[in-house]
Amino acid sequence: MSTLETAADDAIRATRRVRRWGSWYVAEHRFRVMRSYAQTVVVTAIGNPVIYLYAMGVGLATLVDANLGPDAVAGVSYLAFVAPALLASAAITVASEEFTYPIMLGFKWNPVFYGMNAAPIAPGQIINGIVISVTARMLVTCGIYYAFMLVFGAVPSPAGFLAVFAALLTGLGFGAVLMAYTATLTEDTGQLAMVMRFVILPMTLFSGTFFPLSVLPGWLQWIGWISPLWHGTQLSRVFTYGAEEPIWLSALHVLYLAALLGLGWTWARRVAAGRLNK
Amino acid sequence: MIVAENLVKKYKEFAAVDGVSFEVAAGESFGLLGPNGAGKSTTMRMVGAVSTRTAGTLSILGMDPDRRGPEIRSRLGVVPQADNLDTELRVRENLLVYGRYFGLPRAQVARRADELLEFAQLTEKAKSKVDALSGGMKRRLTIARALINDPSILLLDEPTTGVDPQARHILWDRLFRLKEQGTTLLLTTHYMDEAEQLCDRLVVVDKGVIMAEGAPAELIRRYSSREVLEVRFGSDLNAEVAGRIAGMGDRIEVLPDRILIYSENGESELVRIIDAGLRPITSLVRRSSLEDVFLRLTGRTLIE
């Protein structure tokens, strides 16, 4: 065999591992970077549930329950009603951090994605690696949140822990689409701030988070139906206090969120491949 | 190691690379010399298996980048034009993380990282933040990072652009060592002195096509005279004087700020000018360089 053939064979053998595990190497990079802001991650993961559950569960709930009774909203206490929604919102918050700026950074501000791609890592693996790392962070955040929900006595149902996965699916479904959109931005001229203000904030307010969607006038309820947060919140409520809804609707929540995840993920991989191959 | 035939890269109708052919042998140091926008970086990206060619054939280490991109990239070291070091990580971490992209075991990467920090004279900076490094240090770190997988071919896109002169010499020294160790180098540059220092062979590229190919000394012999006399008469007078000295030397180039007279003997041309009653403000006799080759081939200077 010629030396070139040997070299090619060596390369093919050495690259098998990267073809299989490349996404995890990218995730490894993200974890290392997250370590540099680990304090923020931990403080928000613990601080958020404490503050929100206290404010809503002890503060606002006292007011609501005093006026409407202990089964104030949808047959449960206000705390039990609002807690699963806050859990899903926490996942959305992680998504809105981790699927936006790190993407802008990697393509533009500190173009590390090009460096990864100059090594054997494929564009799709970069996207996979980000999804893996965000899933890990989100799981930790939601797990901690759920633990505090238990402490506050906000989970009447024993199947409540499933709400953690409902929240995870919510964050990833919304986040994947957000990631793909961010990947298309060649310049941030305030688009991301607009998304925070005009997509994420209204979504939080009108997704049946603090009051049931049915309270809203009919012409506003569509916001809930397209909102991944509403689907995720409803699903979480089914798990934490057995909120009553037809089984097809619960299935629809899962399907809708999974579809968003699949769509966003595929789209992002495609955008990344296009941007890195110039 | 690298065989390119009629390589073409088009962006819509614009051909950034328009039928470029060259071959690089193992252990050779090969350069692409040309001005900004000549298509050097595009060629580098195609060889780096991150940019799909529009037409032509390309084989790197016997593999086609369209089919074997990751495999080819596993054997390359890439130093891009703009540093893309990870500013969120520290100096040594940059090497550790990068080695993992090649699927190398952690222990091996750690060992190699320490060797490379030594090679790049950055051992004391191992724990520094990347942003705290000078331009030259960042460049050295980028080169060290490109070597983490012990590449068969090192691709360097404008390795010393934007680096101060002293740091440039350190970089050249490091690259020269690699060359001595038998690493195949492919580099682009628009500095002729860099090409002369580092390249065994080079092609002069302009507007996506190859203008000439050969060893630096050979190109100078072929396209230029042994010496060049540079005279300045002041911007207003250069053009006027040019008429009066026409016919001197082998060839004359009139640039906005000076006149170049190509000749086997620059001193004797200067004597002729002074005998003709002309008094240049400054005069300089120097050896011909690749800059002159480029000027001859394209009618333009490399850095405009």
Tens of pLDDT, residues A210-230: 889 888 888 888 888 999 999
Question: ipTM score here?
Answer: 0.89
- Do both B56 and B188 map to the same domain? yes
Inter-chain CB proximity B70 and A33 less than 8 Å: no
In a domain, B295, yes or no: no
| CATH number of domain containing B276 | 3.30.70
Domain end, chosen from B215, B249, B279, is at B215
Tokens 């995840």 correspond to A261
A2, A21, A33: residue with CB nearest B89: A33
The rounded mean pLDDT for chain B is: 91
Domain boundaries, chain A: 3-276
CB of B148 closer than 8 Å to CB of B102: yes
For residue B195, the domain's CATH number is 3.40.50.300
C-alpha radius of gyration, chain A, whole number: 21
Query: What amino acid is encoded at A128 in this protein?
Result: N
Intra-chain end-to-end CA distance of chain A, in Å:
35
DSSP B249-302: SSEEEE-SS-EEEEES-HHHHHHHHHHTT---SEEEEEE--HHHHHHHHHSS-S
Residue B302 lies in a domain: no
| Dihedral over alpha carbons B194, B198, B200, B206 (to 10 degrees) | -30
Mean pLDDT calculated for residue range A39-47: 90
For residue A14, the surrounding DSSP H or E stretch is helix A3-36
Establish if A1 touches chain B: CB-CB under 8 angstroms: no
**Option in A15, A29, A105 nearest B97 (CB):** A29
What does the alpha-carbon distance between residue A147 and residue A164 come to, in Å, rounded to a whole number?
A: 10
**Is B71–A28 a contact, with Cβ atoms under 8 angstroms apart?**
no
CB B194 within 8 A of CB B156: no
Which amino acid appears at position B196 of this protein?
Answer: E
Angle, vertex CA B111, rays to CA B107 and CA B113, nearest 5: 115
Average pLDDT on A45-62 reads 87
Q: What's the pLDDT score for residue B302?
A: 63
A274 touching chain B per CB within 8 A: no
DSSP annotation of A157: S
Radius of gyration over alpha carbons of chain B, in Å?
22
Domains of chain B: total = 2
Query: Any chain B CB within 8 A of the CB of A182?
Result: no
Co-location of B165 and B126 in the same domain: yes
pLDDT at position B18 = 93
* Chain A nearest CA to B50, separation (Å): 5
How much of chain B exceeds pLDDT 70, in percent?
A: 99
* Per-residue pLDDT tens over the stretch A175-185: 999 999 999 99
Residue B276 near residue B248 (C-beta atoms within 8 A) = no
The whole-angstrom separation of Cα A202 and Cα B226 is 75
Quick one: B53 and B199 in the same domain?
A: yes
The amino acid at residue A266 is T
Looking at the structure, tell me whether residues B158 and B236 fall in a common domain.
no
Average pLDDT over residues A41-53: 90
Q: Is A122 part of the contact surface with chain B (CB cutoff 8 Å)? A: yes
Rounded CA separation B173/B163 (Å): 14
pLDDT-derived band at B245, boundaries 50, 70, 90: confident
- What global pTM score does this model have? 0.91
Chain A interface disruption, residue of B2, B54, B71, B154, most A CBs within 10 A:
B71
Task: Name the nearest CA neighbour of A137 among A93, A177, A199.
Answer: A93
Distance from the A18 Cα atom to the nearest Cα atom in chain B, whole angstroms:
5
Report the range of poorest mean pLDDT among A181-195, B133-147, B239-253.
Answer: B239-253
Distance of CA B244 to the CA centre of its chain: 37
Q: Examine the pLDDT at A1 and tell me if it is beyond 60.
A: no
Assess if residue B21 is contained within a domain: yes
Of A164 and A73, the one with more pLDDT: A164
| Count of CB atoms situated within 10 Å of the CB of B35 | 17
Residue pLDDT, tens place only, B1-60 = 999 999 999 998 899 999 999 999 999 999 999 888 889 999 999 999 999 999 999 999
How many angstroms separate the Cα of B256 from the Cα of each of A216, B176, B294? 75, 36, 17
CA-CA-CA-CA dihedral for B257, B261, B265, B271, to nearest 10: -70
Distance, in angstroms, between B68 CA and closest chain A CA? 8
A7 neighbourhood in chain B, CB within 8 Å: 61-62, 75, 152
Q: Do the Cβ atoms of B97 and A4 come within 8 Å?
A: no
Q: Which domain holds residue B86?
A: 2-215
